[in-house]
Amino acid sequence: MATFDYFLVFVPGYTGSVLREPSGATLWMDVARAVRFDDWIERMKYPNPLIASEVLERIAIGPFSKEMGYNGLWQALENYGMKANQRKHAPADLDVHGFAYDWRQDNRLSAKQLAIKIEEWQALHPGKKVWLMAHSNGGLVARWYLNKLGGKDTVEKLILLGSPWDGTPKVMRIGINGDDFILRDWGLNPTQYRQKTAELFRTFPSLYQLIPSRNPFLRDQNNDPVDPFSQTDWLLNPQQRGYLADAKQFIADLGDEESVKTICLYGRNYPNTPTAGTAEIADNGDWREVDWSYTIGGDGTIPTRSARHPNAKENHEFTVEHSSFHLHEPALALLEKVFQRKATSGTKEIVFGESWVMRFFPKRDVVKVGQPVAVWADLHKRKSETELGRNIPQAFQMTATVRMEWAQAMPGDDEPATPPTPQHVQLTLKRGKLVGELPAASLPGYYHLYADISITKPGAAPSRRTARELVAVVP
């Protein structure tokens, strides 16, 4: 086993820590409980007391989030010779420590808790340097610790995975529009569910700290700029407006300083990244609704312009979805060099050439037992850095085979003695899209979807890629 002169602290992103009730019952993320629409939303509201018990290792699909779980990261780090698995190694023997935190709360509070934990881990590793690696919102926690709590005197290096320096419009979308979680098939009222998830998210102080402040991303129906920090009628009560005002101060205080060597990995080319919105605002100032625009200018959650840190020592670009940096082979190859202190330079991954963008999605993220799983894929010409253009030319040949494989049981369920047999479907071309349905699953759980896709341009050899998605099957 290799030896390292530092230990690594990993700070997960939004929704990336398991939250439990004081009784020990898992609240985030119990998808089966969430779709029942019982008291789950009320119990998730802040400041209801919840305990951040551990970094989320397992897959979780739920309202406003699809998490791959960080177990793949621990495995990758073990492959690099680092002791990362807390179940295999004693705390003093670990090279990697995961910091779980209540991601609903003010990021300043999470940063103070991080400082306490790092002191504890330093006592286990006398003489070793400290490195930080943070995903998504975890980057805000890490940077506040470094820049405002003296962490820069302790930490040697910061690695950021899809972490914003100027927020993401996605939090405004969910804070205003909510999320229906594709619940129509459960007999629930989507409008009511969207309203309740929006109300839930607005109770989180951390939500407001992720609102972009430097990039004007909202306009009204007259195409005039809208500032969500000053035009606050989208909020419901004085507490929410207090959270917003405090977040504006947090953002100003945090700034864009990078006080230690910072290596930034960010995503681009991933469809459905919310980047702008048009707000319909009544004469009295009330916000009626917001129509959101989605582009390929990001990783599906964080726009590229926000994830590419202006003062980072290195910025590395990949075609990767927001929750999958730790599963993406080109990104992992770069991280291995970083952890081994090998030289790295600007990385730009090319998939099917810079002029084309591929998309692959299930029609629904959550389906019932016995319900077929519909999927689709397509290929588009890139119109600009953020816009898709025309669909795949007829002269191109695009084929795709999708397989559905068992991933893991739902929270509280036992793993089956024999996992279900993988299912396959060959997609067919219809109106410029490849579409198909996988047979219904008979066992509740999470399933991986793998699309083996081949693109053949006229006169060229085929280009191949495997895309990955997730689906939850519930009773």
pLDDT in tens, 417-435: 999 999 999 998 887 788 9
Asked if residue 373 belongs to a domain, the reply is yes
CA-derived radius of gyration, the chain: 22
Interatomic CA distance for residues 140 and 135, integer angstroms: 9
Q: Domain check: are 122 and 254 in the same one?
A: yes
Interatomic CA distance for residues 98 and 74, integer angstroms: 10
Q: Domain check: are 320 and 400 in the same one?
A: no
Given a cut of 90, is residue 446 above it in pLDDT? no
User: Residue 158: what pLDDT?
Assistant: 98
More confident position, 246 or 410: 246
User: Residue 27: what pLDDT?
Assistant: 87
Number of domains the chain is built from: 2
Cβ count near 205 (within 10 Å): 23
> Which of 475, 449, 451, 453 is closest to 464 using CA atoms?
453
**What are the C-alpha distances in Å from 207 to residues 13, 167, 181?**
12, 10, 19
Q: Domain check: are 255 and 393 in the same one?
A: no
Contact 85, 74 (CB under 8 A): yes
Asked if residue 129 belongs to a domain, the reply is yes
Cβ count near 110 (within 10 Å): 27
Q: Domain check: are 310 and 371 in the same one?
A: no
Q: Domain check: are 10 and 92 in the same one?
A: yes
Sign of the CA dihedral with 346 first, then 349, 355, and 359 last? negative
**φ, ψ dihedrals at 361, nearest 5°:** -145, 150
Query: Long-range contacts: 120-127, Cβ < 8 Å, 24+?
Result: 121/7, 121/9, 121/97, 122/154, 124/91, 124/92, 124/94, 125/7, 125/92
More confident position, 387 or 295: 295
Structural domain including 424 reads 356-474
Given a cut of 70, is residue 183 above it in pLDDT? no
Q: The domain spanning residue 380 has which CATH number?
A: 2.60.40.1930
Q: Domain check: are 468 and 380 in the same one?
A: yes
Asked if residue 374 belongs to a domain, the reply is yes
Longest dimension (CA), the chain: 67
What does the mean pLDDT of the chain come to?
86
Interatomic CA distance for residues 129 and 113, integer angstroms: 19
Q: What is the dihedral of CA 320, 322, 327, 331, to 10 degrees?
A: 50
- The pLDDT tens digits for 114-141 are 999 999 999 999 999 999 999 999 999 9
Given a cut of 70, is residue 64 above it in pLDDT? no
The pLDDT confidence band at residue 296, using thresholds 50, 70 and 90, is: confident
Cα 164–chain centre separation: 11
Interatomic CA distance for residues 57 and 74, integer angstroms: 9
More confident position, 67 or 273: 273
Asked if residue 234 belongs to a domain, the reply is no
- Tokens representing 208 are 């407001």
Cβ count near 53 (within 10 Å): 13
Contact 129, 6 (CB under 8 A): yes
**What are the C-alpha distances in Å from 66 to residues 232, 285, 382?**
29, 34, 26
Asked if residue 40 belongs to a domain, the reply is yes
pTM of the shown model:
0.84
Q: Domain check: are 137 and 268 in the same one?
A: yes
**Max avg pLDDT among 159-163, 317-321, 345-349, 353-357:** 159-163
Asked if residue 438 belongs to a domain, the reply is yes
Q: Domain check: are 321 and 403 in the same one?
A: no
Q: The domain spanning residue 119 has which CATH number?
A: 3.40.50.1820
Asked if residue 207 belongs to a domain, the reply is no
Residue with tokens 């306490």: 116
Given a cut of 80, is residue 445 above it in pLDDT? yes
- The pLDDT tens digits for 137-160 are 999 999 999 999 999 999 999 999
Q: Domain check: are 34 and 149 in the same one?
A: yes
Residue with tokens 């994830």: 307
Q: Domain check: are 16 and 60 in the same one?
A: yes
Q: Domain check: are 156 and 266 in the same one?
A: yes
Residues 6+ apart with CB under 8 A from 65: 14, 15, 29, 323
The pLDDT confidence band at residue 312, using thresholds 50, 70 and 90, is: very high
Instruction: Please say which residue of 314, 339, 364 terminates a domain.
Output: 339
User: Residue 352: what pLDDT?
Assistant: 40
Q: Domain check: are 48 and 131 in the same one?
A: yes
Conformational region of residue 301, where left means phi above 0, alpha means psi within -120 to 50, and beta covers everything else: alpha
Beta strands 397-408 and 388-391 are unpaired
More confident position, 58 or 37: 58
- The pLDDT tens digits for 185-206 are 445 566 677 888 889 999 999 9
Instruction: Please say which residue of 309, 339, 369 terminates a domain.
Output: 339
Instruction: Please say which residue of 339, 366, 399 terminates a domain.
Output: 339
Asked if residue 58 belongs to a domain, the reply is yes
> Which of 301, 326, 282 is closest to 78 using CA atoms?
326
